[in-house]
Chains A and B, each alone.
Chain A
Amino acid sequence: MKLGRRAFLQFAAGVVGGTLLSPIPWQLTDDSSIWSQNWWWRPSPERGEITKVATTCMLCDGGCGIQARLVNKNRAILLEGNAKNPVNRGGICPLGASGLQFLYAPYRVSQPMKQTQKRGDPAGFQPIGWDEAVKELSGKLAGLQSQGNAKTVACLTGQRPSSMDTLWQQFFAAYGSPNFFQMPSQADSLALAAGLTVGQAAPFAFSLENASYVLSFGANVVEGWGAPGRMQTVYRLWRQENGGKAATKFVQVDCRCSLSAAKADQWVAVIPGTEAVLALGIAHLMVKENLYDSGFMQTSVFGFEDWTDAKGKAHKGFKSLVLSAEYAPEEVARRTGVEAAKIRDLAKDFAGHTNAVAVWGAPQGDQPGNIYHDLCFIALNALKGNFDSNGMVTLTPDVPFEPLPDLQMDAAARCALDEQRLDRLQSQQAPLVGNGLYGFLDMVSKGAGYPVNLLMVHEANPAYSLMENKVFQAALEKVGYLVSFSSYMDETAVQADLILPNHMALERFDDAVGLPGVPYAYYAVASPILKPSQGTKHTGDVILALGKGLGGKVGAALPWTDYEAFLKKRVEGLAAAKKGAVADREGMELWKLQPGDLLEANYKDGADLWKKLAGGLCWYDGPNGALQKVETSSGKLELGLNTLVAKGVVAAEDEVYLPHFAQLPPAGDEKEFPLLLIGFRTMSLTGEYLANPPFMTKNLWDTVLKGKDLFVELNPQTAQSLGLGEGSHAMLKTPRGEVSVCVHLYGGARAGVVYIPEGLGHTAYDEYIQGKGVNANSIFEVQMDPVTGLGTVWATRAQLRRA
Chain B
Amino acid sequence: MKEEKKSASGEGLVGGILFLAGFILALIVGWVAFPNLLYSEKTQPMNFSHVSHQDSACEDCHAFRPDGTYAGIPQTDKCKECHESPLGSTEDERKLVEDYIEKDQQIPWRNYSWQPDNVYFSHAPHKAKGIECVQCHRDVTKEKALPVYKENRITGYSKETMKMIVCEKCHAERGVNNECELCHK
A10 touches B27 (CB 8 A): no
Please state if A14 and B14 are interface contacts (CB–CB under 8 Å): no
Interfacial chain A residues near B24, Cβ < 8 Å: 14, 18
* A21–B15 touching, CB < 8 Å: no
Interface range for B: 20 to 34
Among residues of A, the one whose C-beta sits closest to the C-beta of B22 is A14
8 closest A-B pairs by beta carbon, nearest first, are A22-B30, A14-B22, A18-B26, A14-B23, A14-B19, A15-B22, A18-B23, A31-B154
Checking A10, A11, A27, A45 against B117 with a beta-carbon cut-off of 8 angstroms, the contacting residue is A45
Query: Complex Cα distance A10/B19, Å?
Result: 5
* Pairwise interchain contact B21-A11, C-beta atoms closer than 8 A: yes
Give which listed residue, A6, A10, A14, A38, contacts B26 with CB less than 8 A.
Answer: A14
Contact of A16 among B26, B67, B69, B117 (CB under 8 A): B26
Instruction: Report chain B residues within 8 Å CB of A45.
Output: 117
Is B40 part of the contact surface with A, judged by Cβ < 8 Å? Answer: no
**CA gap between A38 and B23 in the complex, in Å:** 34
Chief secondary structure at chain B's binding surface: helix
B29 lies within 8 A of A22 (CB): yes
What are 9 A-B interface contacts by the 8 Å CB criterion?
A7-B14, A19-B26, A22-B30, A22-B31, A23-B35, A31-B154, A38-B156, A45-B117, A50-B67
- Answer whether A18 and B69 are a contact pair too, CB < 8 Å, given A24-B30, A27-B34, A34-B157: no
**Contact status A15-B25, CB under 8 Å:** yes
Within 8 A of A (CB), among B1-46: 11, 14-16, 18-27, 29-31, 34-35, 38
A26, closest chain B residue (CB): B30
Min CB–CB distance B4 → chain A (angstroms): 15
Q: Which residues of B contact A768 (CB under 8 A)?
A: none
A17 touches B11 (CB 8 A): no
Chain B residues, CB < 8 A from A28: 154
Q: Verify B25–A18 contact, CB threshold 8 A.
A: yes
**How far is B24's CA from A780's CA once the two chains are assembled, in angstroms?**
80
C-alpha gap A34/B156 in the complex (Å) = 9
Nearest chain B CB to A325's CB is how many angstroms away? Answer: 68
Contact (Cβ within 8 A) A38 B11: no
Interface size band for A? 20 to 34
B71, CB-defined interface residue at 8 Å? yes
Say yes or no: A7-B15 contact (C-beta < 8 A), given A14-B21, A34-B155, A37-B116: yes
Contacts of A123 in B (CB 8 A): none
Question: Would A11 and B116 be within 8 Å (CB), given that A22-B29, A23-B34, A50-B69 are in contact?
Answer: no
Q: Which of B20, B72, B155, B156 contacts A14 (CB 8 A)?
A: B20
Are A11 and B18 also in contact (CB < 8 A) when A18-B24, A45-B117 are?
yes
Shortest CB-to-CB span from A716 to chain B, Å, is 44
Chain A nearest CB from B75 CB (Å) reads 8
Complex Cα distance A16/B31, Å?
14
Question: Chain A binding site: helix, strand, loop or mixed by DSSP?
Answer: helix
Which A residues between 1 and 58 are near B, CB-CB below 8 angstroms?
A: 1, 3, 6-7, 10-19, 21-24, 27-28, 30-32, 34-35, 37-38, 42, 44-45, 47, 49-50
A32 to B23, CA, bound (A): 25
Interface residues of B (CB under 8 A from A): 11, 14-16, 18-27, 29-31, 34-35, 38, 65, 67, 69, 71-72, 116-118, 152, 154-157, 163
Contacts A17-B26, A44-B117 given; does A34 touch B154 at CB 8 Å: yes
Residues of A within 8 A of B (CB): 1, 3, 6-7, 10-19, 21-24, 27-28, 30-32, 34-35, 37-38, 42, 44-45, 47, 49-50
Chain A residues near B34 (CB-CB < 8 A)? 22-24, 27
Q: Find chain B residues with CB under 8 A from A17 CB.
A: 19, 22-23, 26
Write the nearest CB–CB distance from A32 to chain B, whole angstroms. 7
Nearest-CB distance from B39 to chain A (Å)?
Answer: 11
- CB pair B22–A49 under 8 Å, yes or no, is no
A23 nearest in chain B by CB position: B30
Q: How far is the CA of A19 from the CA of B163 in the complex (A)?
A: 22
- Using known A-B contacts A11-B19, A50-B67, determine if residue A37 contacts B30 with beta carbons closer than 8 Å: no
Flag if A35 contacts B154 (CB, 8 Å): yes
Contact call A6/B15, Cβ cutoff below 8 A: yes
Find the B residue at minimum CB distance from A34.
Answer: B155
A24 pairs with B29, CB closer than 8 A? yes
A70 to chain B, nearest CB (A): 13
A21 touches B30 (CB 8 A): yes
